[in-house]
């Protein structure tokens, strides 16, 4: 039997203690003591003793060794990372040109892509800034026959109260109705958009107040004291943050309202309303037909839109069946609020176009980066070969390549974020006054994340993968291959693809942007409108509700104001007009149908000249709208006489399809205003005017005499909104002067707007301007990136052709032949990609033309312009590299190898 301790324990100890130091001696000493102890106390005690000794010695030794090893490893890694970083820095510095191009290209790409994506996200996709916004829905009355041609007619107060009381699918429901009203601040009337809101709205929207309280349900009750809640913006601009504003009594449309609260800055209203009053409809507005409200609700937890729609439908069917006095066919529907708001913000085609353009720019930036990095790796093949030959590990080379790519992507990303926040800051400042409260534009982490991820993946893939391929060749081959100054055909092809992709994308983008700019130019040519627009001022006046609702007082007001305006030294003539909105406008219960004399039925709603107007004497002269037959509205059309009208050509065709212009003179039609009706006789036919937002679409119009048309004929506008157009010579008078002048007639009249007609028209075409501007920005960016890309590709190619160029020059090649040799391949790629891009632009353009706005692919002109511009960019990008190629000294280039 062995007199030794367990072999396992001995082996364990031998492994734990350091070899060669006192370790071996220790093993011997322990054995010696073990043997002695075993002799004295027996095997059991000796074994236990030995086990204890092994553990108490081995564990601290093992721990110490582990600590030392990890410290070594960390130190080594730190040293390695430091070394890698130093190599990375050196590598980037060595090819400073490529580094600079890559960072510029990336920062522009990332910056503008992020900015535009954030805008698109804010307008069309970002969650609404309200609690449980994903469950919020828009609820509205609908009619099967789509009387208003798919428009939303609004909802009646009666329906709102029914739904609030009876429907269980909503855990909150609120109504609002905003319009411009006159708010007296001090002794000055101001036209302010004020929303009448139900008391439930504050809770639904999670409203916070800066001072006082929001509108409550009690404020809606009959007989409640009228109260006013100011929006934060109005409180700051009109009350200079006055903390004592609570309790002040302000007149809204001449009715005193007590200020009870100021909304918090963070509260985003649903529309552009700057103040709130309580929803307090009059008796007439309690009818189911008075559809003037916007109703929003929040689905109860666990309910979906389909269930809500089922309940709304069943409920409406039961209600209309129970009450035969109601017009049948009406129902109601709920739609996700975010979708409804997105739709209202702009046609989806605009979002799609901008988004596609943004993606293309990002794609071009990534392709550009790929080409630059690929060129860089190829240039460094020789360096790689040398490094590998002198023992650098492949791991280190890959690490350095990844680090370089990451450094480029991060630098580009950081500068890009600065570009994004600066450009977004500018844009949002511009937009704040025109966008509704729910629209906010914080830089979205998902947007930044996606953009960054795309760039990072491109950078790492294109900076690293070619290098992995380079490892397939032996160090010697790598050195010889690049010493000869050649590059593989496969790599050249890869470059061609990248360049071609950039060019093709550039053509599509450019064609879209040229089309957008051409559309903008066409709609901004106001000569096509068919009326005068220069040297004219337009003033919109809002009168106190009910004060000028009879014909005589309205006529007196118009006469007095006209005289005052014409007495102004800058004004040579003044005319007045007022909108006369004919047809049903979606509300089948309160329509203003037009009846042609002798016809059995009213003029169909879809062809009725909706945008008609009542005008004063001199309207056609001042606006230079030609009269084609008969006469214009003049002084003979006085109150009490036969009511006259002038029909535009389009309106005459709509009302009397079978008659030519002269035949409609003397014909009669009736406007049925519900409570009253009025007959008009056509005395003239005028030329058509064009809708400002379209290239050719005419607006059929009937012009009645302002003096003869009852102000309440169509009865839809509680305040009497009168528009004056003034013929102005010389500089524009100060708006304050207009206010003083109007106050002489009635101090309660507010100026809704004062602007030039030209400026007003420009506001009509804001969408086109914005679209053209954004598309121009994006395509300029793409062109810039393309310029960098072509320049980089060509520079790279010339660098790899130095040897060949040297030989060609030595053999007596002419400059022309050299240029062909250098640019031949690029030119072929350019031509091919241009063709592919042009072909792709045609279907893309056709898709855009199907939309509401003519945005892209505007036929051969846009495409030719785009192609020409790209060719120019191509030639520009070639200039510097070609000059460099021509300057190559054959002796130097051959010596260098």
Partner 1 sequence: MAQESIGELEHLILLTILNLSDGASAIRIRAVLESESERRLTRGALYRSLDRLGEKGLIDWNKVEPTEDRGGHAKRFYLVSATGMEVVRSRRNTLERLWAGAAGVLGG
The residues of the shown chain that bind partner 1, judged by CB under 8 A, are 4, 10, 17-18, 21-33, 35, 53, 56-57, 60-61, 64
* Beta carbon of residue 70, minimum distance to partner 1 (angstroms, whole number): 18
* Beta carbon of residue 78, minimum distance to partner 1 (angstroms, whole number): 25
Question: Which residue, 68 or 188, has its beta carbon nearer to partner 1?
Answer: 68
Question: Which residue, 29 or 550, has its beta carbon nearer to partner 1?
Answer: 29
Question: Which residue, 19 or 145, has its beta carbon nearer to partner 1?
Answer: 19
Lookup: tokens for 744? 């002489």
Alpha helices by DSSP H, 143-299: 157-166, 200-205, 232-239
Q: How far apart are CA 458 and CA 452, in angstroms?
A: 10
Q: Given the structure tokens 């007095």, which residue do they identify? A: 560
Sequence-distant (6+) residues with CB within 8 A of 312 are 139, 163, 167, 169, 331, 332, 333, 334
DSSP helix, strand, coil percent of the chain (3-state; round to 5): 55, 15, 30
Question: Which residue, 71 or 168, has its beta carbon nearer to partner 1?
Answer: 71
* Beta carbon of residue 30, minimum distance to partner 1 (angstroms, whole number): 7
Are 373 and 459 a contacting pair, CB within 8 Å?
yes
* Beta carbon of residue 2, minimum distance to partner 1 (angstroms, whole number): 11
Question: Which residue, 7 or 883, has its beta carbon nearer to partner 1?
Answer: 7
Phi, psi of 332 (to 5 degrees): -145, 155
Question: Which residue, 43 or 564, has its beta carbon nearer to partner 1?
Answer: 43
Question: Which residue, 24 or 243, has its beta carbon nearer to partner 1?
Answer: 24
Q: What is the DSSP letter of 696?
A: S
Question: Which residue, 17 or 826, has its beta carbon nearer to partner 1?
Answer: 17
Residue 191's beta-bridge partner residues?
182
Are 108 and 419 a contacting pair, CB within 8 Å?
yes
* Beta carbon of residue 3, minimum distance to partner 1 (angstroms, whole number): 8
Residue 330's beta-bridge partner residues?
143
Q: Where are the beta strands (DSSP E) in 305-369?
A: 330-336
* Beta carbon of residue 4, minimum distance to partner 1 (angstroms, whole number): 7
Lookup: tokens for 511? 């064609």
Question: Which residue, 34 or 548, has its beta carbon nearer to partner 1?
Answer: 34
Sequence-distant (6+) residues with CB within 8 A of 819 are 882, 885, 886
Are 573 and 618 a contacting pair, CB within 8 Å?
yes
Are 206 and 219 a contacting pair, CB within 8 Å?
no
Question: Which residue, 54 or 788, has its beta carbon nearer to partner 1?
Answer: 54
Question: Which residue, 23 or 226, has its beta carbon nearer to partner 1?
Answer: 23
* Beta carbon of residue 21, minimum distance to partner 1 (angstroms, whole number): 5
Question: Which residue, 39 or 328, has its beta carbon nearer to partner 1?
Answer: 39
* Beta carbon of residue 39, minimum distance to partner 1 (angstroms, whole number): 11
Q: How far apart are CA 482 and CA 326, in angstroms?
A: 88
* Beta carbon of residue 398, minimum distance to partner 1 (angstroms, whole number): 39
Are 417 and 114 a contacting pair, CB within 8 Å?
yes
* Beta carbon of residue 53, minimum distance to partner 1 (angstroms, whole number): 6
Q: How many CB atoms lie within 10 A of CB 25?
A: 10
Lookup: tokens for 112? 């503008």
Question: Which residue, 64 or 476, has its beta carbon nearer to partner 1?
Answer: 64
Sequence-distant (6+) residues with CB within 8 A of 260 are 212, 213, 227, 228, 229, 246
Phi, psi of 168 (to 5 degrees): -95, -10
Question: Which residue, 4 or 69, has its beta carbon nearer to partner 1?
Answer: 4
Question: Which residue, 60 or 859, has its beta carbon nearer to partner 1?
Answer: 60
Q: How far apart are CA 628 and CA 530, in angstroms?
A: 13
* Beta carbon of residue 86, minimum distance to partner 1 (angstroms, whole number): 33
Are 526 and 761 a contacting pair, CB within 8 Å?
yes
Phi, psi of 368 (to 5 degrees): -60, -45
Q: How far apart are CA 15 and CA 57, in angstroms?
A: 11
Q: Given the structure tokens 């061609």, which residue do they identify? A: 496
* Beta carbon of residue 23, minimum distance to partner 1 (angstroms, whole number): 8
* Beta carbon of residue 51, minimum distance to partner 1 (angstroms, whole number): 13
Residue 262's beta-bridge partner residues?
211, 230
Q: Torsion over CA of 406, 410, 412 and 414, rounded to 10 degrees?
A: 180
* Beta carbon of residue 10, minimum distance to partner 1 (angstroms, whole number): 7
CA proximity to 769, closest of 577, 597, 516 = 516
* Beta carbon of residue 75, minimum distance to partner 1 (angstroms, whole number): 19
Q: How far apart are CA 664 and CA 68, in angstroms?
A: 106
DSSP secondary structure string for all residues of 473-510:
S-HHHHHHHHHTT---HHHHHHHHHHHHHHHHHHHHHH
Question: Which residue, 42 or 131, has its beta carbon nearer to partner 1?
Answer: 42
Phi, psi of 539 (to 5 degrees): -125, 125
Q: Where are the beta strands (DSSP E) in 729-827?
A: 750-756
Question: Which residue, 27 or 305, has its beta carbon nearer to partner 1?
Answer: 27
Lookup: tokens for 280? 């307090």
Q: Where are the beta strands (DSSP E) in 732-858?
A: 750-756
Are 756 and 732 a contacting pair, CB within 8 Å?
yes
Q: How far apart are CA 65 and CA 21, in angstroms?
A: 14
Are 870 and 364 a contacting pair, CB within 8 Å?
no
Question: Which residue, 56 or 763, has its beta carbon nearer to partner 1?
Answer: 56
* Beta carbon of residue 11, minimum distance to partner 1 (angstroms, whole number): 11
* Beta carbon of residue 65, minimum distance to partner 1 (angstroms, whole number): 11
Q: How far apart are CA 540 and CA 518, in angstroms?
A: 32
* Beta carbon of residue 13, minimum distance to partner 1 (angstroms, whole number): 11
């Amino acid at each position: 039997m062995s007199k030794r301790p367990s072999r396992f324990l001995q082996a364990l100890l031998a492994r734990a203690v350091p070899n060669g130091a006192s370790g071996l001696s220790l093993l011997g000493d322990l054995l010696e003591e073990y043997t002695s102890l075993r002799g004295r106390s027996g095997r059991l005690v000796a074994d236990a003793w030995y086990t204890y000794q092994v553990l108490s010695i081995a564990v601290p030794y093992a721990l110490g060794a582990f600590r030392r090893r990890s410290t070594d490893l960390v130190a080594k890694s730190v040293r390695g990372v430091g070394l890698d970083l130093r190599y990375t820095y050196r590598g980037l510095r060595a090819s400073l040109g490529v580094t600079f191009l890559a960072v510029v290209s990336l920062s522009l790409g990332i910056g503008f892509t992020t900015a535009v994506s954030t805008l698109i996200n804010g307008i069309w996709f970002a969650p609404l800034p309200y609690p449980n916004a994903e469950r919020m829905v828009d609820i509205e009355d609908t009619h099967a026959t789509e009387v208003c041609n798919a428009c939303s007619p609004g909802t009646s107060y009666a329906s709102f109260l029914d739904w609030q009381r009876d429907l269980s699918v909503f855990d909150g429901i609120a109504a609002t109705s905003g319009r411009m009203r006159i708010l007296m601040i001090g002794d000055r009337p101001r036209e302010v958009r004020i929303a009448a809101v139900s008391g439930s709205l504050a809770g639904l929207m999670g409203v916070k107040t800066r001072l006082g309280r929001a509108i409550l349900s009690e404020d809606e009750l009959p007989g409640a004291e009228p109260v006013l809640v100011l929006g934060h913006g109005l409180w700051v601009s009109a009350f200079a943050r006055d903390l004592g504003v609570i309790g002040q009594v302000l007149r809204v449309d001449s009715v005193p309202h007590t200020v009870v609260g100021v909304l918090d800055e963070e509260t985003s209203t649903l529309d552009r309303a700057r103040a709130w009053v309580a929803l307090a409809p009059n008796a007439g507005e309690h009818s189911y037909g008075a559809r003037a409200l916007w109703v929003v609700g929040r689905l109860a937890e666990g309910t979906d839109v389909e269930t809500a729609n089922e309940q709304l439908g069943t409920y409406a069917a039961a209600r209309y069946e129970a009450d035969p006095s109601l017009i049948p066919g009406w129902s109601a529907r709920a739609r996700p609020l975010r979708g409804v708001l997105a739709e209202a913000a702009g046609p989806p085609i605009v979002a799609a176009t901008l988004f596609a353009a943004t993606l293309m720019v990002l794609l071009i930036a990534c392709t550009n980066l790929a080409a630059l990095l690929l060129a860089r790796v190829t240039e460094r093949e020789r360096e790689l070969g040398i490094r590998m030959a002198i023992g650098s590990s492949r791991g280190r080379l890959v690490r350095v390549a990844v680090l370089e790519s990451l450094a480029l992507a991060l630098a580009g990303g950081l500068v890009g974020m600065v570009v994004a926040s600066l450009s977004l800051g500018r844009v949002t400042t511009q937009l704040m006054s025109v966008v509704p409260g729910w629209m906010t534009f914080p830089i979205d982490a998902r947007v930044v994340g996606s953009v960054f991820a795309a760039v990072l993946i491109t950078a790492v893939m294109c900076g690293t993968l070619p290098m992995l391929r380079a490892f397939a060749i032996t160090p010697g081959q790598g050195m010889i291959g690049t010493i000869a100054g050649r590059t593989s055909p496969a790599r050249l092809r890869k470059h061609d693809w990248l360049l071609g992709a950039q060019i093709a994308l550039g053509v599509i983008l450019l064609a879209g942007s040229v089309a957008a700019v051409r559309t903008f130019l066409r709609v901004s040519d106001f000569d096509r409108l068919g009326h005068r627009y220069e040297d004219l001022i337009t003033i919109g006046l809002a009168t106190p509700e009910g004060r000028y609702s009879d014909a005589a007082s309205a006529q007196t007001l118009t006469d007095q104001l006209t005289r005052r305006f014409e007495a102004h030294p800058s004004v040579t003539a003044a005319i007045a007009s007022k909108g006369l909105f004919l047809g049903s406008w979606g509300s089948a219960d309160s329509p203003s149908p037009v009846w042609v004399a002798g016809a059995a039925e009213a003029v169909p709603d879809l062809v009725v000249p909706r945008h008609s107007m009542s005008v004063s004497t001199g309207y056609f002269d001042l606006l230079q709208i030609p009269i084609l037959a008969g006469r214009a509205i003049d002084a003979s059309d006085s109150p009490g006489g036969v009511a006259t009208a002038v029909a535009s050509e389009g309106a005459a065709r709509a009302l009397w399809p079978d008659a030519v212009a002269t035949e409609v003179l003397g014909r009669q039609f009736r406007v049925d205003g519900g409570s009253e009706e009025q007959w008009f006789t056509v005395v003239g036919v005028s030329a058509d005017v064009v809708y400002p937002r379209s290239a050719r679409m005419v607006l059929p119009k009937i012009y009645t005499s302002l003096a003869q048309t009852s102000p309440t004929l169509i009865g839809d506008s509680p305040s009497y909104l009168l528009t004056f157009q003034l013929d102005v010579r010389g500089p524009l008078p100060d708006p304050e002067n207009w206010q003083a002048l109007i106050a002489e007639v009635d101090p309660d009249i507010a100026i809704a707007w004062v602007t030039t007609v030209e400026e007003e028209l420009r506001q009509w075409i804001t969408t086109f301007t914005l679209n053209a501007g954004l598309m121009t920005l994006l395509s300029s960016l793409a062109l810039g990136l393309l310029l960098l890309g072509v320049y980089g590709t060509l520079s790279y190619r010339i660098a790899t052709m130095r040897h060949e160029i040297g030989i060609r020059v030595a053999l007596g090649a002419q400059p022309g032949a050299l240029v062909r040799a250098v640019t031949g391949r690029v030119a072929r790629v350019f031509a091919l990609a241009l063709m592919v891009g042009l072909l792709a632009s045609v279907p893309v353009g056709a898709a855009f033309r199907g939309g509401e706005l003519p945005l892209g692919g505007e036929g051969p002109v846009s495409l030719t312009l785009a192609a020409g511009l790209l060719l120019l960019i191509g030639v520009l990008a070639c200039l510097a590299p070609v000059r460099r190629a021509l300057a190559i000294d054959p002796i130097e280039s051959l010596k260098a190898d």
